[in-house]
Every structure is written in C-alpha cells, then in structure tokens.
Amino acid sequence: MNRRVRSARWGAPVAAAVVAAVATMVLNPTLGASAVAPQSAAKAKTPTAKNVIFINGDGMGASMREAARLNLSGLEGQLAMDRLAASGQLTTTPHDPKAVVTDSAAAATAWATGEKTYNGAISVDVDGNPLATLGQQAKAAGKATGLVTTAQVTDASPAAFFANTADRGQQDEIARQYLDVSKPDVILGGGEDWWLPAGTPGAFKDKPAEDTTEASRGTKGNLIKKAQKAGYSYVNSASGLSKAKDGKILGLFSNEEMFQQRPEGQGDVYSPVVDLGTMTSKALTSLDKNKKGFFLMVEEEGTDEFAHSNNGTRVLQSMQQLEKAVAVARAYIATHPDTLLVVTGDHETGGLSVEEVDGADESGDAISAEDGPFSIRGSDRKFIIDWTTSGHTSVDVPVTASGPLSDSFSGKHPNTYVHDVLKQVLAPRR
C-alpha cells in the first residue's frame, strides 16, 4: 500500500469509513468483519510500525470469544477480532507469593513493563520499585498517548501503562500521576469520583439511586480543574466529546465504571453515556495528528465485571461493544498500514464454558449454575453458558494482531511478551 496514504490523515473520509464499517458490522457481523480491513492486500509489503492500538477485553478468554462468536456472528461466522492476521496464546501467571492466578493489575503490569509482579501492583516490581512503562516511554519518544476504557480511567489495566503505585486502589494518586508525570493526551472513560475531593460532586451526583456507594472520594484536590489548567478539554457527555477539539482531552462519563455490574435482573445496567466505539474513534482522530505516531490503549471492562457476576446476558452485550471498538480500529489500520493492532485479554473470568442446551446436564447452582439459553445468530439453535467461578482462572488467553510485527504474536508466549513486541515500536530509539 502506498505510504502516501498516511498524509491524508484521519479526517472526514476515514471517519466516514469507520461509521460505515461499524454500521455494517452491527447489521451483519460476519460480513462486516471481513469487509473492514482485508489482510492479504497489505501483507506483502508491510511498512515499519509507527502507531500501536492495544485493545483489552478484560477477563476475556477463548470461551468468551466463542460465546460471542456464536451469538453475534453465527455458527459459521467470525468475530472481527478473530479475523486479524496473526493469532496466538498468552499465559497469565503472576509472581505473587500468595496466588497462582493473576489479577488485572499484575497482568497489565506484565504488558506495560515486561516484568511480572504481585497482584494489586501497578507497574512496580515485587519489591515495590517503580518500573518503566510503555505509556511513558512512548511519550518520551515523542508519540501521542491515550487511554479509553469503560472502567474508571484510573483502574488497573490502563493505570499500568501510565502510572506506578504499590496498590491499585490508590486511584486518586494514579490520576495525579497522569497529570504530573505520564501526561497521556487523551483520557476517556469512567471514574469521576477519583478526580474530585470527598463532598465535591461533579457532573455525576454523589450516592446515585442505582448505587448509593458511589461518591467523590479523591484526596489530591480538584484534579479536573488541575487538568483544565494543564490544557485539557474536559467533557462529561456524548455531545461534549463530539465537540471537543483535537489535542488534550479528559472525558469522565460516570462516577465509577460506566455500567452497573450486578447479576441478571438485580440492577444490572449496561448503558454507557458514550459507547466504547465512539470513544475509540474520537481518541484516534485526536492522536492521529502527531507526526511521530501514537500509542492508544482501549479496554472493555464489562466483559470482566459482568463475568464476576456470572451475568451472561451483559457479558455478551459487552462483547458486542468491544467488537464495535475493534471495527473502528480495523477501519483505521486499513488506511494506516504503519499501525500495529493487538487484541487480547488480561486473564479469563468466570470459568466460562459453552455447552449444549440440555436439562439433564445441569451440574450445579449458585456460582456454578448454567446461564441462558442464548441465541445463535442466523439459526434457530441456542447454547448455554456454564460458569464455574465468580473469580479469575489461570487458563491461557488468545491474542490476535494485524499490522507490522503482528506475526510476532503467533505461538504461545508469556504475557510479558506483549511488552517485548510493543517496545520495538514505542520506546525511544538509542
């Protein structure tokens, strides 16, 4: 593909292509997945990587991808994330003296730093010493950086790329480090509570009816005002985000996560103020302006949180939103072949398995109960989701990738290998 395509920028023509690709995928996931970005055309002549889009389906193992494939794409269909050029597996075991199963903090630290650590650690080693992160290295190399998530923007997975703390719970400190240290250009997601002092509600009121435990709780002052003084455009609505000028953007769209993660029918809600695909598109539009390239971390959190609640309905809804974000990313790399796109999960949640609908096969209750049945797209057949835990498991997670260096992800690797590949693009040149 002609390298001069890059000079066209991520403007109206490409943005229109994203809208068309996502719309196609929603109406026909199988067709949309294949139509977004054919891999064979660019494979023969792959340019050097300049940009990285890294997408995390939190808690997304192979079985979750299979359940989503059946539900969204059908018996013979494929997800957009499964149509990427290369595929492999990642192991997820942490270096934790008390655990053999990782949490999101240790897993994301492995990605962001190349070192394994204990559960709860945000890019510090087992002795609590801070580690260099890909987000900070990309910024030092002159690249634009950004994070997009349906969790709190200061939650474990995005935090590991842009902060260092011994305890993932120090989310106000993580927010402070975003502004004072790592300075990502685009920050979009939930978690307004951590940016404001206790007793100072913002756009989202304290103790809302849907969850009265949510309220402003920061201890670092009014970080929203601090961000604005540092040049960030602050937005808290879909209309505000659409109108925000390219450059430094802080968007906080909920008190905590951008959903309510409860068991089915018990107050579970997945209706973000801004959906993941829209946030991803806005982030790409802004970051694309940097001539030296960019690093964007994108995360769907509902895939994990609803799996913790064994809520199959909301897990599949979250997977659909993740697929829309992948469609946006694939539309981008179709016209920007110097971009590496990676889609994976930090660990598996729920011990999910896909089973036949068989009343005689029910093997448990409570957290090991079956869930469903769920429809298979384009078919009158259905399937069951069987849960075995409300926690994480240690099974390998799939990784798929396209663009420069994507072939590196073929085979089986430790999760630290993600860092080794991405560092080739993001770290400053010596």
Taking only the tens place, the pLDDT of each residue in 39-64 is: 444 444 557 899 999 999 999 999 99
Q: Report the interhelical angle of 12-27 vs 312-335 (nearest 10°).
A: 140
Q: Are strands 382-386 and 370-375 parallel, antiparallel or unpaired?
A: antiparallel
The pLDDT of residue 42 = 42
Query: Can you tell me which residue has the tokens 């670092």?
Result: 220
The helix/strand/coil state of 429 is coil
Distance from C-alpha of 18 to C-alpha of 8, rounded to nearest angstrom: 15
The pLDDT of residue 362 = 67
What is the C-alpha end-to-end distance of the chain, expressed in Å?
29
Give the pLDDT of the chain (430 residues) as one tens digit per residue: 433 333 344 454 445 445 444 544 444 443 343 334 444 444 445 578 999 999 999 999 999 999 999 999 999 999 999 999 999 999 999 999 999 999 999 999 999 999 999 999 999 999 999 999 999 999 999 999 999 999 999 999 999 999 999 999 999 999 999 999 999 999 999 999 999 999 999 999 999 999 999 999 999 999 999 999 999 999 999 999 999 999 999 999 999 999 999 888 889 999 999 999 999 999 999 999 999 999 999 999 999 999 999 999 999 999 999 999 999 999 999 999 999 999 999 999 999 999 999 877 766 667 778 899 999 999 999 999 999 999 999 999 999 999 999 999 999 999 999 999 999 999 987 6
Instruction: Give the domains, in start order, of the chain with CATH numbers.
Output: 3-346+396-426 (3.40.720.10)
Distance from C-alpha of 29 to C-alpha of 110, rounded to nearest angstrom: 32
Residue 210, number of CB atoms within 10 A of its CB: 11
DSSP bridge pairs for 186: 146, 249
